[in-house]
Amino acid sequence: MFVRGLKRKCFDGEEDIEGTLAGIKAIPSYNLQRQSLLDMSLVKLQLCHMLVEPNLCRSVLIANTVRQIQEEMTQDGTWQMINTQSTGQTSLDRLVSTDILCRSSREQAEGKQVPGYGSFSKDFEDDQTQDSSETMSTSSSVQAPRNMQSNVWEMENPQESRGNFQKSLDQIFETLENKSPNSVEDLFSEVDNSYYDLDTMLTGMMSNTKMGHCDGLETFSSPTTATSNSNCKSDLNELDHIVEILVES
Amino acid sequence: SCAADIISTVEFNHSGELLATGDKGGRVVIFQQEQENKTQSHSRGEYNVYSTFQSHEPEFDYLKSLEIEEKINKIRWLPQKNAAQFLLSTNDKTIKLWKISERDKRPEGYNLKEEDGRYRDPTTVTTLRVPVFRPMDLMVEASPRRIFANAHTYHINSISINSDYETYLSADDLRINLWHLEITDRSFNIVDIKPANMEELTEVITAAEFHPNSCNTFVYSSSKGTIRLCDMRASALCDRHSKLFEEPEDPSNRSFFSEIISSISDVKFSHSGRYMMTRDYLSVKIWDLNMENRPVETYQVHEYLRSKLCSLYENDCIFDKFECCWNGSDSIVMTGSYNNFFRMFDRNTKRDITLEASRENNKPRTVLKPRKVCASGKRKKDEISVDSLDFNKKILHTAWHPKENIIAVATTNNLYIFQDKMN
């Protein structure tokens, strides 16, 4: 059951939960787990961008997972999916009202520079400031990473980190162009949400090229063999496409 | 041992006398079975190193500014036609045909050269003699006979030699090419699933193999768990399959990871050609080529991992590509798992066994002890709980001798060869 009217606190550890919830076992909400999975997937995809040559199969599978989650999130309430990590029976009714979903898609339609996910999670944050049924999910947010056994993802302060997404967006693009992920740890800790339009990200990943290395073509001689086929040409076009997208963003 | 020693492929030749391994450092090591020792009738010949050579070197693709790994993805042997042995080895981009030949004699007694190769002063030559062959220590030489390059934009995952022994296919994530073993400057594209717009890409090719008997038939598997059987007589570009093998999803098991775990990591025809086996993340499936809508047999490799999929997704283990293999009579199938475990399934008795490839527990000639993983509840003695499994110790590559019960199992850095107990 959901606990109503509970004052939110900054959760540092288990003791706080036990103190405030007085023995009520916090079950991670399906939505939070799903969000966590989405975040994890997007980080994995970003990591693909940084690798020398991403494994296409892995990238495709992760991208499909992201798409699935996105589709379900937009149709929330219609789907009844059993989460593999759920510790209890969680056939949850949707916690996010239709109004919020509509708001996020309207903001997208207004052509904001902020990608779709950013809008959605921002609204989710707004929703959480209200004392609604989401309170239960908030208090269980600390449970979620422990259940997921994730040491990469700490969802301690989902509200605060979501506010920084624009800053992190710039940081990601900068990292991609410099190709020097020194602060990969920092990148992970700040990036809680998707900052890409899904298509942009897929384009960058699928064309199997490295970004920001166009000058590499000039510095190296190019002993490509005579039998290079038209596939090379089309992949070069995709490289141009990537560069265009980066520049636009 | 370093990262370059990581074994990336294992393959017996057609007689089983030779066993080839490829590693991350681009090396091929071939083992040869000793002639059976007549005095020690309780054991078959052991496998000793026969030849080692560097098959592939790291390369740099200047056009894309990307390094091409030298890791050997697959080795496939050609059937032996003469004294020499031939195999195909491939990395992500280039396939090479290697000739492995023995030399146990050398010519001696040249007229114009000394034994060390230096030329003699012609004025000192007063007689003529005919050079003769004299025995020498056995030398095994590997030489590259063909290099098949520049035909793959994406990473090669499979090579398969046709039953005509003249052609072979190579498959990458999006395309399959057909080659003639004699011709290196061109190949025919027979499958192309690359979408016009890469943003629409949702499925990749994961493995491909020619039918063992039917030289116009091949299959390829996908990341969505489908297998397509194609007939090259139907059209030049086999984009339209003759058969599509796919099992409908079990709705009770549906999760966000369903697609990932359905991705097929290996496909192998049975020796008879009547069946094919596929490996996905949690199971091995046997398909009858005459039935497309579901497999005829399904074996659970490590079902206890189903509740751990999220963790396995996080640490990327869910993307591990396990291979599978048939025994010579197609009655047993084998595949690897984690914690250096590997599994065998007897198709006739429906019994299965879990064994471990590790040095600690097994001295040579000891019988392997069956292992058991305790999924939940009370752990019995000698059982291992799921949480204590070492996911870094994975057996991805296994091979079964074509005629005898001898198996080769590759852990990360080591190769184990096991045989059944002879009475």
Residue-range domain boundaries for chain A:
26-77
3 state SS of B410: strand
Residues from chain B contacting residue A224 (CB–CB below 8 Å): 62-63
Check if the beta carbon of residue B386 is closer than 8 Å to that of residue B377.
Answer: no
pLDDT band at B376 (very low <50, low <70, confident <90, very high): confident
The residues, any chain, with a CB within 8 Å of residue A195's CB and separated by 6 or more, are: A115, A117, A118, A165, A168, A169, A172
| Residue A182 CA: distances (Å) to CA of A51, A185, A240 | 13, 8, 26
Residues of B in contact with A225 (CB under 8 A): 149-150
Q: Is the pLDDT reported for residue B210 higher than 60?
A: yes
Is the CB of B150 less than 8 angstroms away from the CB of A225?
yes
Q: Which residues from B are below 8 Å from A32, CB to CB?
A: none
CB nearest A37 (choices: B307, B310, B319): B310
Residue A237: pLDDT band (50, 70, 90) is low
- Round to whole Å and give the CA distance between B21 and B342: 18
- Judged by a CB distance cut-off of 8 A, whether residue B310 touches chain A is yes
Which residues, in sequence order, are bridge partners of residue B353? B344
The nearest alpha carbon in chain B to A66 belongs to B256
The predicted structure's pLDDT at residue B305: 96
Task: Read off the pLDDT of residues A16-53 as tens digits, 9 standing for 90 and up.
Answer: 444 444 444 455 688 888 999 999 999 998 876 655 67
Q: A108 falls in which pLDDT band (50, 70, 90)?
A: very low
Residue of A151, A144, A150 whose CA lies nearest to A27: A144
For B140, phi then psi, to 5°, come to -110, 120
Neighbour-count burial of B119, counting CB atoms closer than 10 A to its CB (0-12 exposed, 13-18 middle, 19+ buried):
exposed
Chain A with chain B: Cβ pairs closer than 8 A: 121
Model pLDDT, residue A198: 45
**Which of 123-152 (B) contact A at CB < 8 A?**
149-151
Which residues, numbered 65 to 84 in chain A, qualify as contacts with chain B under a Cβ-Cβ cut-off of 8 Å?
65, 68-69, 81-84
Q: Which range among A24-38, B9-23, B174-188, B385-399 shows the weakest confidence by mean pLDDT?
A: A24-38
Cα B224–Cα B229–Cα B235 angle in degrees, nearest 5: 120
pLDDT at residue A231, as a whole number: 46
Q: Binning pLDDT at 50, 70 and 90, where does residue A6 land?
A: very low
Substitution target from A59, A64, A196 for chain B, most B beta carbons within 10 A: A64
Q: Is the pLDDT of residue B135 over 90?
A: yes
Of B420, B163, B342, which is closest to residue B269 (Cα–Cα)?
A: B163
> Which residues lie across from B28 on neighbouring strands?
B22, B53
Residues of A with CB below 8 A from B261's CB?
A: none
- pTM of this structure: 0.71
B116: number of Cβ within 10 Å:
5
Largest CA distance in chain B: 92
Could you report the predicted ipTM of this complex, rounded to two decimals?
0.92
At residue A26, the pLDDT reads 54
For an interface test with A, the pick among B263, B310, B376 (most A C-beta atoms closer than 10 Å) comes out as B310
A91 and chain B in contact, CB less than 8 A: no
Q: For residue A10, is pLDDT > 60?
A: no
Neighbours of B390 (CB within 10 A): 11
Mean pLDDT of chain B: 93
With cut-offs at 50, 70 and 90, classify the pLDDT of residue B105. Answer: very high
pLDDT, tens only, A131-148: 433 333 333 333 333 333
pLDDT at B38: 55
If one counts every other C-beta atom within 10 angstroms of the C-beta of residue B298, the result is: 14
Closest CA to A155 of A123, A195, A118, A192: A192
- To 5 degrees, how large is the angle CA B290–CA B296–CA B302? 140
From B66, which residue of chain A is nearest by alpha-carbon distance? A52
* Dist CA B52 CA B45 (whole Å): 20
Sign of CA dihedral B145, B150, B152, B157: positive
Contact A238 B174 (CB under 8 A): no
Residue B179, phi then psi, degrees to nearest 5: -120, 155
- What is the four-CA torsion angle of A130, A131, A133, A134, rounded to 10 degrees? 50
Provide the CB-side half-sphere exposure for A77 (13 A, CA): 9
Beta bridge partners, B49, equal B31
Q: Is the predicted pLDDT of residue A226 greater than 50, yes or no?
A: no
B260 and A61 in contact by Cβ < 8 A? yes
- pLDDT value of residue B239: 78
Confidence of residue B423 (pLDDT cuts 50, 70, 90): low
